C-alpha cells in the first residue's frame, strides 16, 4: 500500500504521496485489540469512525431523512377528493363502469393512485369492484337515502337539542359566516360546491359537542347522502339547494334562542327534505 501511494506522487492527484497508515493485523482484530490509530480517542455514539476522523458525533442529534416534496399518499388523497366531487356533481354516472387507467388519464396521473382511491370509495359504498374491468358506480334509490336520513337524525338531533340548551347565543352567532357560505354556494347552482359548504356547516355545529368521533361519523353519513340518485345530477336543482341553505339560517336562530322544539322540527325536515 505504501509503495502504491508513493508511486502516485507528482501526478497532481489530491492526496498522492501521502503515507497510508499501517492497518491492524487480523489477529489484533480477532482479539478485540484497539488499533493504534484509535487508541487514546473517544469513540462516537456508534463506536464507529466518526471519532477517528475527529467529527463531533458525541453530542449531535441525528437528523431525520428528508421527505419527498410530493408523497404518494397526498396524490391518492387529491384523487379521492376529485372522485368524490365528480360523484356528487353527477360526472360519474350511476351504473357505469370506469377503469383506473381511463380515470388516471383524465386526472393526469397513473392508474395506481386512482385504483387506491376507488378502493376507498368501494369501502364507503360509492362504487363496487368489477373484476378485470374497473369500478361500477352504485345505483342508489330513495330507500337508501331515507335510511341515511333516519340514521343521521338519530345521531344529530339529540346532540343539537343538548347544544341548544347549553351553548350561549354568541357562539351560534360565530357560525353565521358558515351559514352564509352555504347560501352563496347554493346560489352558484354547483351541486359539488354546495355539498362541501353544507358539510362544513354541519361539522361546525356538531363540533361544539366536543366529540370528534361523532363529528367524523356524522360527516361520513352526510357525504353518502349527497351522492346522486338514479335520476342523475338534475334530480336536485338550484332551487332545492337554495331552499336547503336557507334552512341553515333558521336553524342557527332557533339554536341561539334555545327553542328545542323548533330545532327538532327543523333538523328532521332538513334531513328528510328533497335531496
Over residues 208-259, the pLDDT tens digits come to 999 999 999 999 999 998 887 765 444 557 888 999 999 999 999 999 999 9
For residue 189, pLDDT beyond 50: yes
| Terminal-residue alpha carbon distance, the chain | 84
**pLDDT value at position 216?**
95
Bridge partners, residue 130, by sequence: 134
Distance CA 237, CA 58 (A): 68
Distance CA 265, CA 254 (A): 10
Check residues 271 and 21 and name the one with the higher pLDDT. 271
Q: Which class is 142-272 in CATH?
A: mainly alpha
Distance CA 34, CA 42 (A): 12
The three-state DSSP-derived secondary structure of the chain is CHHHHHCCCCCCCCCCCCCCCCCCCHHHHHCCCCCCCCCCCCCCCCCCCCCCCCCCCCCCCCCCCCCCCCCHHHHHHHHHHHHHHHHHHCCCCCCCEECHHHHHHHHCCCHHHHHHHHHHHHHHCCEEEECCCEEEECCCCHHHHHHHHHHHHHHHHHHHHHHHHHCCHHHHHCCHHHHHHHHHHHHHCCHHHHHHHHHHHHHHHHHHHCCHHHHHHHHHHHHHHCCCCCCCHHHCCHHHHHHHHHHHHHHHHHHHHCCHHHHHHHHHHHHHCCC
**pLDDT value at position 154?**
94
Among 128-142, 207-221, 258-272, name the most confident range.
207-221
Cell numbers 352564509: residue: 180
Domain extent listing, the chain: 72-137, 142-272
Distance CA 127, CA 140 (A): 11
Check for a shared fold between 72-137 and 142-272. no
| pTM (two decimals) | 0.67
For residue 93, pLDDT beyond 70: yes
| CB neighbours of residue 120 within 10 Å | 16
Q: How many CA atoms lie within 13 A of 60 on its CB side?
A: 10
For residue 38, pLDDT beyond 50: no
For residue 33, pLDDT beyond 90: no
Distance CA 10, CA 122 (A): 71
For 120, 141, 226, 237, the CA distances from 147, given in Å and listed in that order, are: 22, 10, 13, 22
CATH topology of domain 72-137: Arc Repressor Mutant, subunit A (1.10.10)
Amino acid at each position: 500500500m505504501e509503495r502504491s501511494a508513493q508511486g502516485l506522487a507528482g501526478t497532481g492527484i489530491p492526496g498522492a504521496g501521502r503515507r497510508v497508515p499501517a492497518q491492524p493485523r487480523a489477529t489484533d482484530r480477532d482479539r478485540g485489540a484497539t488499533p493504534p490509530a484509535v487508541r487514546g480517542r473517544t469513540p462516537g455514539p456508534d463506536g464507529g469512525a466518526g471519532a477517528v476522523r475527529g467529527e463531533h458525533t458525541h453530542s449531535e442529534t441525528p437528523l431525520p431523512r428528508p421527505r419527498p416534496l410530493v408523497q404518494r399518499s397526498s396524490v391518492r388523497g387529491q384523487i379521492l377528493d376529485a372522485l368524490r366531487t365528480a360523484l356528487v356533481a353527477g360526472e360519474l354516472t350511476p351504473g357505469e363502469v370506469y377503469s383506473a387507467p381511463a380515470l388516471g388519464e383524465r386526472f393526469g396521473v397513473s392508474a395506481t393512485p386512482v385504483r387506491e382511491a376507488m378502493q376507498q370509495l368501494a369501502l364507503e359504498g360509492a362504487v363496487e369492484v368489477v373484476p378485470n374491468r374497473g369500478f361500477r358506480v352504485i345505483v342508489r334509490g330513495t330507500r337508501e337515502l331515507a335510511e341515511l336520513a333516519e340514521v343521521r337524525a338519530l345521531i344529530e338531533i339529540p346532540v343539537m337539542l343538548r347544544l341548544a340548551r347549553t351553548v350561549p347565543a354568541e357562539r351560534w352567532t360565530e357560525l353565521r359566516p358558515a351559514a352564509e357560505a352555504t347560501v352563496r354556494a347554493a346560489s352558484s347552482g354547483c351541486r359539488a360546491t354546495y355539498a362541501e359548504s353544507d358539510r362544513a356547516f354541519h361539522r361546525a355545529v356538531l363540533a361544539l359537542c366536543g366529540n370528534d368521533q361523532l363529528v367524523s361519523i356524522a360527516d361520513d353519513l352526510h357525504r353518502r347522502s349527497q351522492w346522486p340518485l338514479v335520476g342523475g345530477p338534475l334530480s336536485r336543482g338550484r332551487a332545492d339547494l337554495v331552499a336547503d341553505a336557507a334552512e341553515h339560517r333558521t336553524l342557527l336562530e332557533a339554536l341561539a334562542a334555545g327553542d328545542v322544539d323548533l330545532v327538532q322540527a327543523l333538523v328532521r325536515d332538513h334531513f328528510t327534505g328533497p335531496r
